[in-house]
Structure 1
Amino acid sequence: MIIGYVRVSTNKQDTESQEIEIYEYCNYNNLKIDKMLSIEISSTKSQEQRKICELKNMLHNGDTLITTELSRLGRDMFEILNLILELNKIGVKTIFLRQKELYGDEKHSKLILAIYAYLAEEEKKLISQRTKAGIEKARLNGKKLGRPYNTLNSQYDRDVTKIKELLDKKVPVKSIWKILYEEKGKSYNGLLWFCKKRNLI
């Protein structure tokens, strides 16, 4: 079995570009994807929420996991390394499309994997530090931060037309959530709040 795994952190990103990259690789190498797991959720969430637990249950000896880069699989270097080593132990092949040097000799691949995971974690820390420094600088310069008072901005806005259509057809909010968002890890309460704030219900 060949499984693709795609994850983006926010609704401002799109899973489609990663999916296309994986499908193009498979087409070029005459491979067939049996299952594509795609999710929109932060890496800080649990493995269960990120479908990592589901992924591990699906993979067995001789299977292949394809993802665009190793940072899609974990929140930090230790989680990533443990997952890859766990999959290697049961005979699962892992392919990272943007890190092809990980496909070679087993010892060499493990070393490169450790280096990549370390660099990915350090880059995340650096981005966080820069963000905090930028916010602090803006505060010191008297800039007001955060969402303007009494304004609305939600991750559900891009689907508002579809949500309205389903509500017009008397589809319950709970059912809309299951149809559109349950597999993406979004909460039912979030959708319910959105519908109330938009006066949709």
Structure 2
Amino acid sequence: MTYGYIRVSTDRQTIENQRFEINEFCRKYVHNVDKWIEETTSGTKMIQERKLGTLLKKMKKGDILICSELSRLGRNLLMIMGVLNECMNRDIQVWTIKDNYRLGSDINSKVLAFAFGLSAEIERNLISQRTKEALARKKAEGVILGRPVGSKSATTKLTGQEKKIKELLNKKVSYSAIGRILGVHRITVSSFVKELK
């Protein structure tokens, strides 16, 4: 089965350009799209939370996923690599039009996937290294990193629950019971109540 996948980031963008590209490609190579999957969502959203995630779960060996370009699958290289890796492991082909990729389980696809994977690892390491260098520079400049010693966060797990806690305390409900009701430990409730007083 062949699936045409279209993703746009905002309502202002149109799906028609991507649909046209896929249809033209299929016409040129005498191929048909059996089902279209369209969604308006950011590429940074987790795959599992998108229609693409649902589609990948139901695709079978030999199925083909066609999209206009690899960037439609995700916003960053790591996310795209995750999709490609899953597809290759399950013998699902991914075809892109602008990038002109035909990724399957053949050796060329695996070499390309390795290159993508290596790029992703290098990208992760560079980000980590830049972060460490920036923190070291700040520290050397005398900037105190993190929250000042002895200070407390402005918000806690129970912030916004003050009224409910007071009502429960007025009804003589124990800290343990309040903790169970609010899904926190009784010590969290006890500490929060001390701060309220």
**In the alignment, which of 108, 111, 114 is matched to residue 108 of structure 1?**
111
Amino acid aligned to 2:96: F
Deviation at 1:115, TM superposition (A): 7.6
How far apart in 2 are the matches of 1:115 and 1:66?
24
Q: Tell me the secondary structure at the aligned position of residue 66 of structure 1.
A: strand
Written as runs of structure 1 = structure 2, the 5 A alignment for 1:47-196 is 47-101=47-101, 103=103, 105-111=108-114, 113-114=116-117
> 1:121-170: CA deviations, max 9, x gaps?
9xxxxxxxxxxxxxxxxxxxxxxxxxxxxxxxxxxxxxxxxxxxxxxxxx
- Asked if structure 2 preserves the Cα contact closer than 8 Å seen for 1:102 and 1:109, the reply is no
1:14 is matched with 14
Compared CA separation, residues 45 and 101, structure 1 to 2 (3 A): closer
- Asked if structure 2 preserves the Cα contact closer than 8 Å seen for 1:8 and 1:39, the reply is yes
Deviation at 1:116, TM superposition (A): 8.0
Deviation at 1:48, TM superposition (A): 4.1
Q: Tell me the secondary structure at the aligned position of residue 22 of structure 1.
A: helix
1:162 is matched with none
Q: TM-score, normalised by structure 1?
A: 0.53
**Stretch of structure 1 that moved more, 38-47 or 16-25:** 38-47
Q: TM-score, normalised by structure 2?
A: 0.54
2:40 is matched with 40
Gaps of 5+ in 1: 122-201
Compared CA separation, residues 87 and 107, structure 1 to 2 (3 A): closer
Amino acid aligned to 1:105: N
Deviation at 1:117, TM superposition (A): 6.9
Q: Which has the larger radius of gyration?
A: 2
- Asked if structure 2 preserves the Cα contact closer than 8 Å seen for 1:69 and 1:99, the reply is yes
- Asked if structure 2 preserves the Cα contact closer than 8 Å seen for 1:9 and 1:42, the reply is yes
Compared CA separation, residues 102 and 114, structure 1 to 2 (3 A): farther
Deviation at 1:25, TM superposition (A): 0.6
- Asked if structure 2 preserves the Cα contact closer than 8 Å seen for 1:61 and 1:92, the reply is yes
Aligned residues: 121
Amino acid aligned to 1:82: G
Compared CA separation, residues 102 and 110, structure 1 to 2 (3 A): farther
The structure with higher relative contact order (CA 8 Å, sep 6+) is: 1
Compared CA separation, residues 105 and 6, structure 1 to 2 (3 A): same
Compared CA separation, residues 101 and 116, structure 1 to 2 (3 A): farther
Deviation at 1:5, TM superposition (A): 0.5
- Asked if structure 2 preserves the Cα contact closer than 8 Å seen for 1:68 and 1:98, the reply is yes
How far apart in 2 are the matches of 1:65 and 1:58?
12
Superposition RMSD in Å: 2.7
- Asked if structure 2 preserves the Cα contact closer than 8 Å seen for 1:70 and 1:117, the reply is no
